[in-house]
Amino acid sequence: MESWKTKARRIVLEQRPWLVVEYHTVELPDGRTISDWPWIITPDYVNVVAVTEDGSFICFRQVKYGLDGTTLAIVGGFVEEGEAPLAAAKRELLEETGCESADWVHLGSYRVDPNRGIAMGHLYLARRAHFITQRNADDLEEQELILLTRAQIESALASGEFKVLAWAASLAFALRKL
Amino acid sequence: MESWKTKARRIVLEQRPWLVVEYHTVELPDGRTISDWPWIITPDYVNVVAVTEDGSFICFRQVKYGLDGTTLAIVGGFVEEGEAPLAAAKRELLEETGCESADWVHLGSYRVDPNRGIAMGHLYLARRAHFITQRNADDLEEQELILLTRAQIESALASGEFKVLAWAASLAFALRKL
């Protein structure tokens, strides 16, 4: 199977670091050309399922602009320029919870959108996470840290209380490793 | 916890039906205002984990423009204007595989991005799927239908062969119901 080829690209919207939209001219294997194929670039991100030694899942109850009402959430944030994904995961865990862990499992790195790109999501499990300092989250949203049992995580997953795909996916992947 | 309020919105890029970008003026609970908050709209989509009576998972090997090399994939596509998500899932299953099912499980509906919106992904499991007609996929990409066992799905998930978040997530959610 042959991949499509990018023959040209031009930026049509630019608001760095949050969003760049390009239009690509794409050549198909049969020679056809598609012009103005939208290609969306937002920052790559990490999510972290953090579990303490005694099996508590470190979560948040919070609001997010893109969601109705409150949601359950896990640790996450953008990968900074030049930062390795695992380093970003460790930084976000420390900032958002005051925890560190010496036992990291990579749950996979995934494309958000098969057609438009958008971002890579790098998902991690941090086992034996332990509190070492105060939280220092820089998020604009109100956020309450809560500890959930495995049974509570399974129930919340089943009832859709984690409203964002990457958060629910990270938890489902993590449960397969725990 | 109080949600942020949208005080104004304006379209800054429009290529319907594939992409609309808006800038929102957003008011925070403490009274601060953020202008030019990027809000991305792409079509809502469905993904379907289709499993036959004898436990075969109906998958594809294919290329996608947003991915390097080939990927394993599951049934999926956009929800059409005015179409219910489950109806879209049934339509995509029939078009892409020639199958139907009378045993549908909703695996959840998730926001792609907590900040920018982007789309809702509606994920389904179709049990006892059976072939009733020829495939009639309208996708532009080459796509080979393959049947995988549960063990092969577990192995492919672990090694990242399903390269798109929604596809891997749908499978992880489905495995919890099978």
Measuring CA to CA, which residue among B176, B178, B151, B156 is closest to residue B167? B156
- pLDDT reading at B1 higher than 90: no
CB contact under 8 A, A15 and B38: yes
Q: What is the CATH number of the domain that holds B155?
A: 3.90.79.10
What ipTM is given for this predicted complex?
0.97
Between residues 102 and 131 of chain A, which touch chain B (CB distance below 8 Å)?
A: 108-118, 121
CB contact under 8 A, A110 and B163: yes
Residue B85 and residue B162 in one domain: yes
Residues of B in contact with A42 (CB under 8 A): 40, 113, 116
B78: closest chain A residue by CA: A115
Measuring CA to CA, which residue among B73, B68, B75, B85 is closest to residue B119? B85
A64: closest chain B residue by CA: B114
Residue A124 and residue A149 in one domain: yes
Residue A69 and residue A143 in one domain: yes
CB contact under 8 A, B142 and A1: yes
Q: Which two tokens stand for residue B103?
A: 């045993």
Alpha carbon of B115 to those of A32, B7, B54: distances in Å? Answer: 36, 16, 42
CB contact under 8 A, A121 and B165: yes
* B19 interfaces chain A, CB cutoff of 8 Å: yes
Distance from CA of A54 to the nearest CA of B (A): 24
Residue A144 and residue A107 in one domain: yes
Q: Which two tokens stand for residue A93?
A: 């865990």
The total domain count for chain B is 2
Residue A154: strand, helix, or coil: helix
Measuring CA to CA, which residue among B134, B121, B117 is closest to residue B74? B121
CB contact under 8 A, B173 and A168: yes
The pLDDT tens digits for B41-95 are: 999 999 999 999 999 999 999 999 999 999 999 999 999 999 999 999 999 999 9
pLDDT (tens place) for every residue of chain A, 178 residues total: 899 999 999 999 999 999 999 999 999 999 999 999 999 999 999 999 999 999 999 999 999 999 999 999 999 999 999 999 999 999 999 999 999 999 999 999 999 999 999 999 999 999 999 999 988 877 777 889 999 999 999 999 999 999 999 999 999 999 999 9
Residue B24 and residue B109 in one domain: no
Predicted pLDDT of residue A1? 85
Residue A95 and residue A9 in one domain: no
CB contact under 8 A, B166 and A168: no
CB contact under 8 A, B165 and A163: no
Between residues 135 and 174 of chain A, which touch chain B (CB distance below 8 Å)?
A: 140-142, 144, 160, 163-166, 168-169, 172-173
A154: closest chain B residue by CA: B176
B13: closest chain A residue by CA: A13
Residue B13 and residue B72 in one domain: no
Size of interface A-B (CB pairs under 8 A): 159
Residue A91 and residue A166 in one domain: yes
Residues of A in contact with B121 (CB under 8 A): 165
Range of the domain at B158: 45-175
Residues of B in contact with A168 (CB under 8 A): 108, 110, 169, 173
pLDDT band at B22 (very low <50, low <70, confident <90, very high): very high
The pLDDT tens digits for B114-166 are: 999 999 999 999 999 999 998 887 777 788 999 999 999 999 999 999 999 99
Measuring CA to CA, which residue among B75, B43, B45 is closest to residue B59? B75
Residue B86 and residue B167 in one domain: yes
Residue A36 and residue A76 in one domain: no
Q: Which two tokens stand for residue A126?
A: 């941090």
With beta carbons less than 8 A apart as the criterion, state whether A59 and A65 touch.
no
Return the number of other C-beta atoms located less than 10 Å from residue A10's C-beta.
9
Query: What is the mean predicted confidence (pLDDT) over B14-35?
Result: 96
A62: closest chain B residue by CA: B1
Residue A90 and residue A18 in one domain: no
The pLDDT tens digits for B92-108 are: 999 999 999 999 999 99
Residue A91 and residue A148 in one domain: yes
Query: What is the mean predicted confidence (pLDDT) over B16-38?
Result: 96
Q: What is the CA radius of gyration of chain A?
A: 19
* A64 interfaces chain B, CB cutoff of 8 Å: yes
Residues of A in contact with B141 (CB under 8 A): 4
Predicted pLDDT of residue B142? 80
